[in-house]
A and B are shown apart, each in its own frame.
Chain A
Amino acid sequence: MTETNRPYILYGIAALLLLANWYFLGLNSALFTLNFCLISAVMALGVNIQWGYAGLFNVGIMGFTAIGGLCAVLVAYPPIQETWEAGGSGVIISALLLLVAVAVCVVIYRRMPKGSARMWALTAAVIVSFFIIRHFYAPAVAAIESTNAASTGFLGGLGLPIILSWMVGGVVAAGIAWIVGKIALGLRSDYLAIATLGISEIIVAIVKNEEWLNRGVKNVIGLPRPVPFEVNLQKEQWFIDLASRLDVNLVEFSSIFVKLCYTCLFAFVLLLILYLSEKALNSPWGRMMRAIRDNEVSANAMGKNVTRRHLQVFILGSAVVGIAGAMLTTLDGQFTPTSYQPLRFTFLIWVMVIVGGSGNNWGAVLGGIVIGFFWLQAEPIGIWLMDSLTASMADDNPLRLHLIESAAHMRLIVMGLILLLVLRFSPRGLIPERTGRRH
């Protein structure tokens, strides 16, 4: 396998994996896997922008994904009349007051001389605004949450096309990345990692608990779709004709058709972001980024504002993750805050990037697809493996039962081992960076 044809062979293998999935489990399952893999690939691209281009260690991917998902709800879900009447004004007033409070704090910070007086003034401003905002916020929230609590109890969204939320998700994620980056970039690299870990925990806590916003752990279901619903398709004449011409089961075909629509959308987004990333990487900006990454000290000495560059890259990467988060929620058709777990949404993405090839966009995409594939398939494979390994034992043997029951946890161990092995023995990943001179 030479350097040049290596990517083709590896992508070929990835395609074979998906084809095998098709062969063994059917097209429906294969498309489901493919869609998941495409979204994973977008996330991996986002993380690669941060890690591969600039060496930033973001441990808050989960949070940016959740932000994207929240945006999908807020953009696409139809607004709910009763709850807006119940507490909409209170929430809006609180939001405006929050803006005022932030402005006041900024003014204090800018105008007053550095020192303890400024500290106290800021603290006082924060405390006072906290209580003022709460005065409006708490009753409004209580009113919203008690309105028709069983079915809605939240404000709903804007009722706009859900595709729009992909962009919005990216923008909001970028905004949050800006704040985190302002605080933690330029300090030790550990601090960015820990700050991102913190912000992601908070974001997930918010989406779990702010019921007026997204029903919290009661989940928002039935999000609008960018593609037709299966039941509607099954009633369309042209679709029935198409199915009969292809001689396939109508119900199954509708499900496959919908998944294919998603595949096209996701593939389009992936290719677009990939194209832009490649453009950026090979531009003077990208070369400068890599120069900074490879030698921060000398880049600093050459007058490059390293922290500023890092901030740019951090924002861009987080925006891509936000987009992917919105896409994921769109695909699921529902927003379930409890599904955001760091192992799945932060650390798994890291495995994708490291395995794929840090610094190489094609590598990150490949990593996203391959690791995404194994993440989905590891469970059935694990159960099958455990089942065959323990086949000689009696059916009610407690060890056998325990092993089969715990097979799902095997994938954590396997993912960890893959990460460690690749990092150790092939640190440049499956498709290494082309021009890099990293060890």
Chain B
Amino acid sequence: MSFLIGENMTGGYGGADILTNCTIGVEQGEIAVIVGPNGAGKSTAMKAIFGMLNLREGKVLMDGEDITKLSPQARVYKGMGFVPQTSNVFTSMSVEENLEMGAFIREDDISETMHQVFDLFPILKEKRNQPAGELSGGQRQQVAVGRALMTRPKVLMLDEPTAGVSPIVMDELFDRIIEVARTGIAILMVEQNAKQALNIADKGYVLVQGENRYTDTGKALMENPEVRKSFLGG
């Protein structure tokens, strides 16, 4: 049993089911990556785990506790952090304020966590007083990840964190994500850049039409010729 798992998830946004019997799990300190073609339900699967769509069947468990019925906000209190794909920073607020808002639910002293985030993303410390909207795409993503880390989550979920950033920035972001995972946080992310993502993944899920097609370690998936052929472009 994984630390966080969405089991046999079936459901959609009201109309037809987008997910069918889909199972996704991740361990603490591990990176799990969801890949697949466009429209495969990757983001939907992640949103389902975060409680942003109602499941018709299946359940979500975290640390053995059934959280299927909880709202996204309640899941944040339980220790889940979520970084949306777009609009994931408060553009008019400074970097530091973004981080403060990330820690809104915490009543204790947040300065230590903020130091940790600044250690992880040194550029943010430099730009701490600048509005997040004025930063570059890569820096914004760092703010977004930093904001989610401020609650000291047990699980961090990232929806396409590298969308729209340059390859160099992408490599750096992945390095940071590995560092975050090493602190014992479970990381679940959806990625367009399947190859690079599977490279750093402990576990990979290939979704097609809302169903699990392949599930294996990242390395094994990279070596699987069928996966290579159909999803990694040879």
Direct contact between A and B judged by beta carbons closer than 8 A: no
Write the residues of chain A forming the contact surface with B, with a CB cutoff of 8 angstroms: none
